[in-house]
Structure 1
Amino acid sequence: MDGRELRNALGRFATGVCLITTTTRDQLPIAMTVNSFAAVSLEPPLVLWSLQNNSEVYQEYAAARYFNVNVLCSTQQSLSNDYARKGDHAIRPEHFSLGKYGAPVIRGALVTFECEMDATHAGGDHLIIVGQVRNMTHRPTGKPLLFYSGGYGEIH
């Protein structure tokens, strides 16, 4: 199967955009942009996301006890771009505060799910990370940042 054609076809599925945040072993806050986020279960409350095996921050996320899934709002496209770049995952102090379990909470996010690592599963060229939601915060208003067919979009 042609990889580019598959990627283009998968891109036809509209997704939200999230920043996954955690801290390194040295307690440095890091973030990465993903659109591979999904709910797994309500009881217990489980979510998942996928980490590329060749990511330069693979070890930090694969070993993290706690991580946060921060669902970005439509006005946070610049944050998505900032933390989508390879080698640029250190979070600037003005972008976060620390959550209940020590992982960064992105200011202004629509929702933040504070998660404890529950399981990991090999999934081809990705590691599927399942987290149990331990805490969450959300805003009652705002529109999500969407990604579709290689670009950003909004709900109208």
Structure 2
Amino acid sequence: MSIVTDGASFRKILGHYPTGVCAITATQQDQKPTAMIVGSFTSVSLDPPLVAFFPDKASTSWPKIEACGGFCVNVLADDQEALCRALASKDPEKFDGVPHRLSPRGAPILDGALAWIDCSLHAVHEAGDHYIAIGKVHALDIHHPGTPLLFHKGSYGKVAPLL
């Protein structure tokens, strides 16, 4: 039995659980799009429809998204690793040239994403070194058929077909 005593051990052990990868997008007051990448997205409630993700308190993108009062969750496809890496960067111009259209509430829906979920910011709670950001779902749709981008043991991957 291993006892977790530090963040590196905790991350290594939890890395054995694969997660989907989502881009959280929003449009700032100056109409400039912004984004962050999360591997911690989940449904919360069916009635009312709520979803959540867990931004790091040290994130420089989260305050921009939070200030927008809403966001769009883009479920990334397994061929969008390069886009994922670009949107995860600290580059202030990371969204330049990223093809997208706007959701009903005005947040970017990324071209090629599998699905999108358009939300208003419902609540934010502190949780250790992260926040729990809860969104109220207003619209959602399947954007493109395919399989999701996964993150597992520190690497990106894809769903393998069952034989």
Category of TM-score, reference length = shorter chain: over 0.9
Provide the residue aligned with 1:48 in structure 2: 52
Report the structure number with the largest CA radius of gyration.
Answer: 2
1:5 is the counterpart of 2:3? no
Amino acid at match of 2:122: D
Superposition TM-score, scaled by structure 1 size: 0.93
Query: d(CA) in 1 for partners of 2:121 and 2:7?
Result: 31
Q: Offset at 1:95?
A: 2.1
Q: CA RMSD of the aligned region, Å? A: 1.4
Query: Contact 1:83 / 1:89 at 8 angstroms: preserved in 2?
Result: no
Instruction: Note the 1:44-83 alignment, pairs <5 A.
Output: 44-83=48-87
Q: Which residue of 2 aligns with 1:134?
A: 138
Amino acid at match of 1:105: I
Gaps of 5+ in 1: none
Normalised to the residue count of structure 2, the TM-score between the two structures is 0.90
Once the two structures are TM-superposed, the CA of residue 139 in structure 1 deviates from its matched residue by 3.9
Paired position in structure 1 for 2:115:
111
CA contact (8 A) 1:40 1:47 kept: yes
* Per-residue deviation, residues 48-106 of structure 1 (Å, max 9, x unmatched): 00111111123212222120000001111111111111234642344211111011111
**Structure 2: where are the runs of 5+ without partners?**
none
2:116 counterpart letter in structure 1: T
- Aligned-residue sequence identity (percent) comes to 40
